[in-house]
Amino acid sequence: MGNMSTHSINNQNKLIQFLFGTWERTQLSISAGLLLLMVFSPLVIKSPYYIGVITLACLYAFIGISWNIISGFCGQLLIAHIIFIGLGGYTTIVLLNNYGISPWIGIPIGGFVSGIAGVVVALITVRYGLKLDYFALFTIALLVALRTLFLKWEFVGGAVGMYLRQETPSLNRMIFISKLPYLYIACSLLLFGIIIQYLTYKSKFGKYFIAIREDETAAAALGVNLTKYKTLAVMIGTALAGLGGGFYIIYVTYIDPTGIFNLGFNAEMVMASPIIGGLGSLVGPILGALVNKPIAEIIRANLAEARSGITMIVYGIFLISAVLFLPRGLAGLIQTLYYRWFHGITSTHQEGE
């Protein structure tokens, strides 16, 4: 008997070691746990409205991951990241409405188009040495130019935007009566994002990204090809954003230039989750999205009807307080606790920031 219990304690220790042995593994375990929670949430939550909120939280986490790779890992200030969500979304809906191509193919093509656009943007800006503030301003100028272009471009619906046609449910067109299939597609996207993010983080080029973020000149001096790896980071991130955008349009069934090429929406959809959760960490975008989306949605549902503007106030306060009080985000907070509990270290020096 005694032997048996030591054995099971050993197994338990092994399990704990496996799940929480390092901070990286802990982040993966938390990510997996949160993802499972979302997958199984319909067992408890029956209201389609709340399932919808969880679906969007899942999507925001995925989009947060896409921005995290560019800005968090590689340190590139691609502020107007929503450009690539818009491009992916427009590609998907144009393919579906004008050519009858199923979203199952259209969404990956959207990701491909966004990835190509990202490569073009990265190559141009790196070629001319745009960095930091100047790069950020460049992306914002691009956003404004694209918005104006799409407003005038009748092929993609102009100022009116585009609606999903043929609302008859069909698997092929990714139109369902129940909210559940959307949730599972969003969860699969998020799983894909978590895997890509982890592989990037573990890979050699992921280390180069972080070297570029920490000190570009030093990285270049050590032989890191800046053009190549900055472009690669932007390509991975923008391609993921395109996928997210494609699914987003299918889910909300509508896109228009002022709605999507919009800096306020950019702050909500792209920036808020990784910033709140912890930019540059593995678990940050997911933690952040789970705080960001539900809170904002509750406020929107309960207060915004009385007065518009509340949502923007909330996002403004989110971003400001994250920078001032939690510069490493929720992940940074958990990391400190983690080192205290598991390793007895009270002051940490880590990779997250």
Partner 1 sequence: MTSEIFFQTLINGLFTGGIYALVSIGLTLIYGVMVIVNFAHGEFLTIGIYTAFWSVTLLGIDPYMSIPIAIIIAGILGAVIQRGLVQQVLDSHPLHQIVLLVGVSLLLIGVIQFSFGAEPKAMHVPYETEVIQLFGLRMAIPRLIAFGASLFISIGLFIFLQYTKIGKAIRAVSQSRQAASLMGINVNLIYMLTFGIGAAITAVAGVLLSPNHRMIPTMGEAYSVIAFLVVVLGTMGNFVGAFIGGLIIGLVEAYAGFYLGGDVKIIASMLIFIVILLFKPSGLFGRKR
**88 sits in which H/E element:** helix 82-99
Q: Which is nearer to partner 1, 263 or 291 (CB)?
A: 263
Min CB(149)–partner 1 separation in Å = 6
The DSSP output letter for 153 is -
Min CB(279)–partner 1 separation in Å = 7
User: 3-class DSSP state for residue 172?
Assistant: coil
Q: Cα–Cα–Cα angle for 63, 65, 67, nearest 5°?
A: 75
Q: Which is nearer to partner 1, 99 or 128 (CB)?
A: 128
Q: Which is nearer to partner 1, 145 or 222 (CB)?
A: 145
Min CB(101)–partner 1 separation in Å = 29
Q: Residues interacting with partner 1, by CB under 8 A?
A: 71, 75, 77, 79, 124-125, 128-130, 132-134, 136-138, 140-142, 144-145, 148-149, 151-152, 263-264, 267, 271, 275, 279, 307-320, 322-324, 327
Min CB(270)–partner 1 separation in Å = 11
Rounded CA gap, 121 and 127, in Å?
10
User: Token pair of 214, please?
Assistant: 């920490």
First to last CA, the chain: 48
Q: Which is nearer to partner 1, 239 or 275 (CB)?
A: 275
Min CB(345)–partner 1 separation in Å = 25
Q: Cα–Cα–Cα angle for 129, 351, 82, nearest 5°?
A: 50
User: Token pair of 314, please?
Assistant: 């909330």
Total count of residues recorded for the chain: 353
- 241 CB-near residues (< 8 Å, 6+ apart): 63, 66, 67, 81, 82, 84, 85, 88, 111, 114, 118, 270
Q: Which is nearer to partner 1, 55 or 139 (CB)?
A: 139
Q: Which is nearer to partner 1, 150 or 208 (CB)?
A: 150
Q: Which is nearer to partner 1, 54 or 130 (CB)?
A: 130
Determine how many CB atoms are found less than 10 A away from the CB of residue 136: 17
Min CB(134)–partner 1 separation in Å = 5
Min CB(258)–partner 1 separation in Å = 10
